[in-house]
């Protein structure tokens, strides 16, 4: 209520519309105080012009027009609001259902909407009201609502379709929220402006339709509404008699009601736009940001493993094959992009594992496939991904909903977009917990505050909207949400790439601190190998869809074995020592839509052995404890050919 008043203060047009509407409600409500007469009493002189005692004159039957106007407001407003509510409810429910479920549901609803849109409104109204004649005011309300919902459904559907594709809705689905909750708690608040506009539009349509029907004699003319007042004025030839006041009074009231609805509609954009609230918070945020930049800490010196790899892995990815099904592109195209090729990787409880490699080598596809988040055209071609022994790839959607967020969570590139722009951050932190059964408000609040402290945000920012936070803060909020249920594993795919280096390092240190405190495992994906060397217990290097080297971080840094790792390491500045010029890696990775019989790095390798490296694939072999590499420079082991059916 308080915020509604604040919004109205900020939108003069909405305020004017609301004032006009309130005035009409007051006239309707206090009618007995504003007139001593009854709207149906015929005790006065006929055709009296406005005068003392009869402010707006009298009708041909000797009724007081001012009294009829006051009492008529009651039914007119009831019809407008009730029909508006019913039609908006039908339109919103159908529009959102069509957009959320898509497919056949969408098609069926769309056909229904189109049928109602092409049917001419007035004849439909007349026919429907003829059928329901004698049913009183409620039959008029139902007729108007049933003929007026389709426009709202069409507009809401198209807007909801756009929302359906937004990251925060995908994230809500991935986090296991139920469809009804996603529709009502995530999507609906974003459509509030549109729904309100649709409501006021339909309410106006209802008032005008009622007036039109009544004027044509199709309404319940025994009742007093502004519409039936027009009907009687027309039927008794008020204009011919020069009794303009009889027509003008209800006509003007209908016009004023329309103006009120239109003004409110104009103001709704301002009312529902969260950017106008709490501008002060943004300023506080800027000051805090500036302060933080000044105290940017030095590089984290603590990269000692938190936990030694245990015997039973928490996550065991084995022989995972995944990629994308694309349209066949002639002779060269196989129709399959094999972005992840026979990848096996174990993550121990509490371990921080870094995954590095050039852009396009399949890191994200591996993260999505292993966590069962790969969406079409992405497909898992084969293999397993077991979390605590349970194969994520064979879980039913319901089983998956239960484990996601509780057993593992995921933070992806630019995942700050998963924050719903019109919900306060607090509600969004609560959401993941509520979807998994935490209901106690005190517990939710205590946990949300604790999480904010954990990721380095002042808990009072829980009351902020996403746009009031900087990019770094939003990313911290997403990380806090990912940690909310203390999952055993958090997969982070370049969660800090969009941020400046100072904020990146701060966030990473906080992730690491949270991991140590909570004992969770982290898989961290980035291009930045130097960052990984600092933070990780173990690092896996990916190239052309394969893990070509894997080792404890310090070992990999001190003794990279694969020529690609060596080059990749050389592409980043060293952690200490004099400044020197760094070179890139000449050449490009091979296309992932084709399979080569040899080492994928052959074309770019400075140490290649033609006749061997290009005809056979090196197998991944453990050269030192925990240090595996797939390169003929270190082992002669050959990997068996694994894609004999590349053409399907
Ligand atoms: N929707 C898609 N359809 C076809 N190919 C795709 C699709 N998405 C990704 N790919 C291909 O899959 C390969 C691996 O992409 P992926 O995003 O997993 O790599 P990445 O190492 O995570 O890259 P980056 O670091 O840039 O995010 C790339 O060659 C890419 O072209």
Virtual torsion, Cα 539, 543, 547, 550, nearest 10 deg? -30
Write the residue with the smallest CA distance to atom 16 of ligand 1: 362
Mean pLDDT of 383-402: 87
At residue 610, the pLDDT reads 87
Token digits for 327? 């349209």
The neighbour count for residue 376, using CB atoms within 10 Å, is: 7
At residue 7, the pLDDT reads 63
At residue 1, the pLDDT reads 60
Q: Average the pLDDT over each of 47-61, 219-233, 282-296, 382-396 and give the range with the smallest value.
A: 282-296
Ligand 1 centroid–CA 384 distance in Å is 20
pLDDT tens by residue, 71-83: 999 999 999 999 9
Identify which of 321, 322, 323, 324 to mutate to test ligand 1's pocket (most ligand atoms within 8 A of the CB).
324
Ligand 1 centroid–CA 324 distance in Å is 9
- For every residue of 470-493, DSSP letters joined together read -HHHHHHHHHHHHHTT--SEEEEE
The neighbour count for residue 315, using CB atoms within 10 Å, is: 24
The 10 Å CB-count burial string (b at 16+, else e) for 529-557 is bbbbbbbbbbbbbbbbbbbbbbbbbbbbb
CATH of domain 78-272: 1.10.3720.10
**pTM more than 0.80:** no
Write the residue with the smallest CA distance to atom 29 of ligand 1: 360
SS3 annotation, 401-443: HHHECCCEEEECCCHHHHCCCCCCHHHHHHHHHHHCCCCCHHH
Write the residue with the smallest CA distance to atom 5 of ligand 1: 324
Task: Tell me how far apart the alpha carbons of residues 633 and 599 are, in angstroms, rounded to a whole number.
Answer: 12
Q: Is the dihedral of CA 400, 404, 408, 413 positive or negative?
A: positive
At residue 241, the pLDDT reads 87
Q: Is the dihedral of CA 55, 58, 63, 68 positive or negative?
A: negative
Ligand 1 centroid–CA 428 distance in Å is 29
3-state class of 364 per DSSP? helix
Write the residue with the smallest CA distance to atom 4 of ligand 1: 324
Report whether pLDDT(301) > 80: no
Write the residue with the smallest CA distance to atom 12 of ligand 1: 339
Report whether pLDDT(514) > 60: yes
Mean pLDDT of 497-503: 69
Ligand 1 centroid–CA 165 distance in Å is 19
Contact yes or no for 270/196 (Cβ under 8 A): no
Token digits for 188? 């609906």
Task: Tell me how far apart the alpha carbons of residues 498 and 501 are, in angstroms, rounded to a whole number.
Answer: 9
Domain with CATH 1.10.3720.10 in the chain: 78-272
At residue 226, the pLDDT reads 93
For residue 385, list its beta bridge partners.
Answer: 317
The neighbour count for residue 291, using CB atoms within 10 Å, is: 9
At residue 134, the pLDDT reads 64
Task: Tell me how far apart the alpha carbons of residues 533 and 545 are, in angstroms, rounded to a whole number.
Answer: 21
At residue 334, the pLDDT reads 58
Q: Is the dihedral of CA 502, 505, 507, 509 positive or negative?
A: negative
Contact yes or no for 59/174 (Cβ under 8 A): no
At residue 346, the pLDDT reads 92
- Among the atoms of ligand 1, which is closest to the Cα of residue 592? 29
Contact yes or no for 425/419 (Cβ under 8 A): yes
Identify which of 321, 339, 374 to mutate to test ligand 1's pocket (most ligand atoms within 8 A of the CB).
339
- Among the atoms of ligand 1, which is closest to the Cα of residue 413? 27
Ligand 1 centroid–CA 301 distance in Å is 33
At residue 173, the pLDDT reads 77
At residue 70, the pLDDT reads 95
Mark residue 545 as left, alpha or beta (left: phi above 0; alpha: psi -120 to 50; beta: remaining). left
For residue 386, list its beta bridge partners.
Answer: 316, 391
The neighbour count for residue 60, using CB atoms within 10 Å, is: 17
Pocket of ligand 1 (CB under 6 A): 324, 326, 337, 339, 357, 359-365, 377, 527, 592
Ligand 1 centroid–CA 639 distance in Å is 24
Ligand 1 centroid–CA 170 distance in Å is 19
CA-wise closest residue to 317 among 383, 403, 412: 383
Ligand 1 centroid–CA 391 distance in Å is 24
- Among the atoms of ligand 1, which is closest to the Cα of residue 364? 22
pLDDT tens by residue, 142-181: 888 888 888 889 888 888 887 787 777 877 777 677 888 8
Write the residue with the smallest CA distance to atom 25 of ligand 1: 359
Mean pLDDT of 393-414: 83
Sequence-separated (6 or more) residues with CB below 8 Å from residue 515: 306, 350, 352, 490, 521, 522
ipTM for the predicted complex: 0.95
Residue where the block lists tokens 């008020």: 238
pLDDT tens by residue, 601-625: 998 888 888 888 988 899 998 988 8
Identify which of 360, 544, 546 to mutate to test ligand 1's pocket (most ligand atoms within 8 A of the CB).
360
pLDDT tens by residue, 225-282: 999 999 999 889 888 888 998 999 999 999 999 899 888 877 776 555 444 333 333 3
Task: Tell me how far apart the alpha carbons of residues 361 and 383 are, in angstroms, rounded to a whole number.
Answer: 19
């Amino acid at each position: 209520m308080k915020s509604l008043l604040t919004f109205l203060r900020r939108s003069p047009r909405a305020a004017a519309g609301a004032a006009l509407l309130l005035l009409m409600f007051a006239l309707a409500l206090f009618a007995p105080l504003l007139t001593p007469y009854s709207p149906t009493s015929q005790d006065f002189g006929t055709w009296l012009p406005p005068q003392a005692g009869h402010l707006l004159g009298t009708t041909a039957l000797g009724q007081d027009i001012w009294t009829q106007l006051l009492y008529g407001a009651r039914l007119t407003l009831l019809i407008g609001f009730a029909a508006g509510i019913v039609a908006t409810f039908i339109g919103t429910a159908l529009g959102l259902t069509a957009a959320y479920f898509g497919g056949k549901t969408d098609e069926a609803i769309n056909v229904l909407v189109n049928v109602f849109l092409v049917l001419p409104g007035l004849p439909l109204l007349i026919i429907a009201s003829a059928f329901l004649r004698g049913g009183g005011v409620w039959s008029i309300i139902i007729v108007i609502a049933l003929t007026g919902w389709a426009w709202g459904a069409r507009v809401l559907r198209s807007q909801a379709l756009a929302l359906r594709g937004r990251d925060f809705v995908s994230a809500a689905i991935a986090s296991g929220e139920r469809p009804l909750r996603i529709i009502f708690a995530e999507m609906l608040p974003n459509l509030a402006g549109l729904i309100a506009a649709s409501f006021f539009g339909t309410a106006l349509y209802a008032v005008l339709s009622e007036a039109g029907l009544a004027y044509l004699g199709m309404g319940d003319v025994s009742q007093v509404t502004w519409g039936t007042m027009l009907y009687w004025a027309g039927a008794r030839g008020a204009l011919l008699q020069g009794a303009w006041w009889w027509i003008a009074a209800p006509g003007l009231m209908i016009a004023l009601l329309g103006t009120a609805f239109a003004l409110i509609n104009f103001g709704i954009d301002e009312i529902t736009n969260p950017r106008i609230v709490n501008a002060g918070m943004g300023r506080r945020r800027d000051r805090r940001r500036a302060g933080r930049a000044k105290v940017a800490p030095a590089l984290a010196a603590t990269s000692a493993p938190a936990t030694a790899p245990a015997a039973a892995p928490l996550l065991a990815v084995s022989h995972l094959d995944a990629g994308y099904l694309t349209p066949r592109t002639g002779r060269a195209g196989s129709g399959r992009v094999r972005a992840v090729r026979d990848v096996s990787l174990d993550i121990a409880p509490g371990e921080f594992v870094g995954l590095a490699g050039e852009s396009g080598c399949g890191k994200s596809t591996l993260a999505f496939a292993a966590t069962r988040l790969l969406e079409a055209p992405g497909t898992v071609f084969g293999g397993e991904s077991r979390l605590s022994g349970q194969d994520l790839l064979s879980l039913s959607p319901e089983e998956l909903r239960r484990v996601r967020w509780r057993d593992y969570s995921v933070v992806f590139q630019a995942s700050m977009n998963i924050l719903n722009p019109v919900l306060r951050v607090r509600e969004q932190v609560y959401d993941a917990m509520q979807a998994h059964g935490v209901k106690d408000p005190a517990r939710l609040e205590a946990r949300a505050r604790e999480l904010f402290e954990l990721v380095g945000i002042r808990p009072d920012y829980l009351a902020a909207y996403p746009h009031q936070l900087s990019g770094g803060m939003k990313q911290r909020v997403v990380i806090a949400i990912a940690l909310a249920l203390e999952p055993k594993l958090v997969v982070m795919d370049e969660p800090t790439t969009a941020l400046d280096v100072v904020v990146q390092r701060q966030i990473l240190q906080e992730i690491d601190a949270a991991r140590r405190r909570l004992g969770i495992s982290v898989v961290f994906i980035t291009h930045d190998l130097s960052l990984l060397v600092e933070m990780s217990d173990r690092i896996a290097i990916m190239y052309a869809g394969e893990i070509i080297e894997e080792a404890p971080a310090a070992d990999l840094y001190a003794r990279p074995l694969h020529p690609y790792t060596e080059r990749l390491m050389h592409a980043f500045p060293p952690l200490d020592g004099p400044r020197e010029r760094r070179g890139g890696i000449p050449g490009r990775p091979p296309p992932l839509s084709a399979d080569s019989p040899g080492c994928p790095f052959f074309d770019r390798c400075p140490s290649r052995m033609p006749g061997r490296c290009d005809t056979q694939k090196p197998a991944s072999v453990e050269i030192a404890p925990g240090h595996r590499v797939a390169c003929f420079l270190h082992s002669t082991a050959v990997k068996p050919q694994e894609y004999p059916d590349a053409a399907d």
